[in-house]
Structure 1
């Protein structure tokens, strides 16, 4: 791949000869670092400190080939997280859990939303206690008890893993059903969660 990267030889050529404020200095330093890293990797990508938006870095337009190469490089750095999210997605499907597909964001696994009945079932699969089958989980007190049971079961199943779920009551105005947002967890915790759910039901 040929490179076509604009040389960055002097920050004053770009930002003026006066003293550089901290934000502009940081942008200039980051631009140089990114510029040199792209050059070393053979990426046709120009990084320059912005004139219109001081303190920001302009990357500009890149070719489809550069975008594909950059995507592959980024995915290589987060391959463990991607594998963990796919493993969780597969086990959630295998268990028939009504919840969003997990995905990677900022190096962590986002578990997304889950229905109350699925959260109740997931608690049981993780070894937690089950409530009375006649319990109305969407009632606020019962939902809070469900969250407490789930968090404890999650902690035990993942060897001390922390999760911070949030209950969203049903809304008559928008006709939305009650659900729980599970938030995000580290990759190592995601692996432990998948391992716990992959056990036979009687050992979960």
Structure 2
């Protein structure tokens, strides 16, 4: 089946004769097929046979996979640059954080230890707690989240962060963390700038 087959099928039956999800799959298949052909990619996108309502792209050659990877990376080039810039700033501050990475067009921050989150608050200009406070206790952890969100919002000019607190787990021997999720590229760029300013100020 090719692009002509897809269009002739919808022409013969009419759009109302196809279930909505099947019609969506046929339309998406045609769009993807034409885009790949225009880009010189040897990839045949077809409406699914075994899974109606889905788009089947089948197997592709390594060369096609490499070319497709390059095209996708070009579209997220700025996000990749920002994630690398943020990673460099995090490493320069020696923050105990996972390396940020790009997923679904956003920058993933991942899970941050509570002491690291507290240090991040200080770097972003937020208030610090009593040094004797045990951050892993639930009330103190909630206050830490509030301080982090406020400092993050101010440092990124309105950026939104929604950390989730996961306490110590005796069963799996894991320490308490804040799962910070992902943030938009523009917010990640502003976060990187804020951390870079602290580096320059400390130099």
For normalisation by structure 2, the TM-score amounts to 0.93
**Counterparts of 1:4-23 in structure 2 under 5 Å?**
7-11=2-6, 19-23=17-21
1:12-51 C-alpha deviation (Å, 9 max, x unpaired): 8779x76211110000000000000000000000000011
Give 1:140 shift.
0.4
> Equivalent of 2:54, from 53, 56, 72?
56
> Equivalent of 1:25, from 16, 23, 26?
23
1:109/1:184 contact within 8 Å kept: yes
CA RMSD of aligned residues (A): 1.8
Aligned residues: 198
2:156/2:187 contact within 8 Å kept: yes
Q: Does 1:169 find its partner at 2:164?
A: no
**Equivalent residue number for residue 128 of structure 2:** 130
SS class of match (2:3): coil
The answer for unaligned runs of 5 or more in structure 1 is 1-5
The answer for unaligned runs of 5 or more in structure 2 is none
* In 2, Cα distance between equivalents of 1:14 and 1:101: 48
1:14/1:49 contact within 8 Å kept: no
**Equivalent residue number for residue 84 of structure 1:** 82
* In 2, Cα distance between equivalents of 1:84 and 1:39: 31
For normalisation by structure 1, the TM-score amounts to 0.92
Task: Describe the shift of the 1:52–1:13 C-alpha distance in structure 2 as closer, same or farther (beyond 3 A).
Answer: farther
SS class of match (1:172): coil
